[in-house]
Amino acid sequence: MLTHLARFGRVHGIDFDHEAAGYCTERGLDHVAQASATKLPFPDMTFDVVTMLDVLEHIRDEGGAVAELMRVLRPGGLALIAVPAYRLLWGAQDEVSQHVRRYTAKQLRATVEGAGLRVRRLTYFNTILFPPIAAIRLVRRAVPVTRTRVSDFNFPAPGPVNGVLAAIFGSEAAIVSRTGLPFGVSILCLAERPAAA
């Protein structure tokens, strides 16, 4: 993600895991630090934009992490947060990924606004693939034989299948940029640090 974001300006990243941060450095991403999201190694009001993409669901002190995100944002700065949606979809992938929770839009809004950020856009996404993903998760929960802690990503998928799935997933981008979606596998929140905060 840092490589993609670098097109827009100078980037910094953190990872809680020492090995993951080291792996980034080995790949030439020299602006990655090992740190906790609840204790960021940056001064107050450092950044114009902070992203927290599929991170918040891993952190027990979610309020502390969002408050810390706000601390390092400049007034008027933007935060982009993505999280998995619906406790109903909890499955082996959440356990493998060491998730603490899944969210509803209302819960994410409360967490973000509780830290003092102002929500500008909040929407579900990955809506088109929601029915098959929900069906697979519910079947795995109901049928004892399928209960496993194996990752959902642990299966071979031919390139064309990945291409089709990526196209379906990407087709929602135009919709999400204009309006919100009523449900989905994930939630996206764009929030702003108020100029007076």
pLDDT tens for each residue of 168-179: 888 998 888 888
Predicted confidence (pLDDT) at residue 42 exceeds the cutoff of 70: yes
Asked if residue 2 belongs to a domain, the reply is: no
Is the CB of residue 193 less than 8 Å from the CB of residue 72? no
* Range of lowest pLDDT (49-53, 131-135, 154-158): 154-158
How many domains would you assign to the chain?
1
Strands (E), 112-161: 118-125
- Judge whether 15 lies within some domain: no
Average pLDDT, the chain: 90
Residues facing residue 186 across a β-bridge: 84, 125
Q: State the pLDDT at residue 185.
A: 96
14 belongs to a structural domain: no
- Domain enclosing residue 54, as ranges: 36-192
Band (164; pLDDT cuts 50, 70, 90): confident
Kindly state whether residue 166 falls inside one of the protein's structural domains: yes
Instruction: Classify residue 128: in a domain, yes or no.
Output: yes
Is 7 part of a structural domain of the chain? no
Q: Is residue 145 in a domain?
A: yes
Whether 59 maps to a domain, the answer reads: yes
Closest CA to 180 of 121, 110, 128: 121
- What CATH number is attached to the domain comprising 185? 3.40.50
